[in-house]
């Protein structure tokens, strides 16, 4: 199957009227905020979004975004692979139209349309993946290079041969 790049921006209301489906990829390197916390900043994000109009007449974008990323294990510092996956349902809104916002079911997230009536799909997908990224990624204990046992001894600190800078200060004070 040929992988198509999905559009960065589009008009969600028109897409909903046409019942468009976007099925394609986003280059991972175009998601700069996300790749900041990744070890390998290249790859592909698989994105699928179905646009439709619900019974209430709202335009609805329902989709998934998934990719595998390399992050640093917070325990051992080695690179680890993580599968990120996100499912979402958005409805587009115009700015701060509170009357319209009040009618939106809680199960929908809202995305604001810009002055051209478009939304930024790349930003939406990037936000979703950043939320899917764990704050402190770690290997499972069994796979981690630093076992839980080693951690419990708390034997991680400055090497003993290195002089403690505060000790030096104390020596100076004594003189």
C-beta of 31 vs 71, nearer to Zn ion: 71
**DSSP line for 71-112:** EE-TTT--EEEEEEEEEEEEEEEETT-HHHHHTS-TT-EEEE
C-beta of 113 vs 139, nearer to Zn ion: 139
How do strand 109-113 and strand 79-94 relate by DSSP bridges?
A: parallel
Q: Measured from the CB of residue 77, what is the shortest distance to Zn ion in angstroms?
A: 7
C-beta of 77 vs 165, nearer to Zn ion: 77
Q: Measured from the CB of residue 154, what is the shortest distance to Zn ion in angstroms?
A: 17
Reported residue count of the chain is: 175
Q: Measured from the CB of residue 34, what is the shortest distance to Zn ion in angstroms?
A: 21
Burial degree of 91 (CB within 10 A; 0-12, 13-18, 19+) = buried
Cα dihedral 91, 96, 99, 101, rounded to 10, equals: 30
> Which residues of this protein are in contact with Zn ion, per CB under 5 A?
73, 75-76, 139, 144
φ and ψ of 157, to 5 deg? -170, -170
Q: Measured from the CB of residue 48, what is the shortest distance to Zn ion in angstroms?
A: 32
C-beta of 9 vs 79, nearer to Zn ion: 79
Between CA 93 and CA 163 the distance in angstroms is: 61
Q: Measured from the CB of residue 79, what is the shortest distance to Zn ion in angstroms?
A: 9
C-beta of 30 vs 68, nearer to Zn ion: 68
């Amino acid at each position: 199957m040929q992988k198509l790049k999905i559009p960065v921006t589009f008009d969600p209301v028109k897409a909903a009227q046409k019942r468009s489906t976007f099925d394609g990829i986003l280059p991972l390197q175009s998601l700069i905020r996300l790749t900041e916390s990744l070890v390998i900043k290249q790859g592909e994000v698989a994105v699928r979004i179905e646009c439709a109009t619900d019974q209430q007449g709202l335009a609805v974008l329902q989709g998934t975004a998934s990719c595998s990323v390399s992050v640093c294990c917070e325990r051992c510092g080695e690179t680890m692979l993580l599968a990120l996956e996100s499912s979402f349902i958005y409805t587009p809104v115009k700015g701060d139209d509170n009357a319209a916002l009040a009618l939106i079911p809680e199960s929908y997230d809202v995305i604001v349309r810009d002055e051209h009536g478009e939304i930024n799909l790349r930003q939406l997908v990037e936000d979703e993946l950043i939320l899917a990224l764990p704050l402190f990624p770690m290997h499972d204990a069994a796979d981690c290079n630093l076992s839980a046992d080693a951690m419990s001894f708390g034997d991680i600190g400055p090497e003993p041969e290195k002089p403690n800078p505060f000790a030096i200060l104390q020596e100076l004070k004594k003189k």
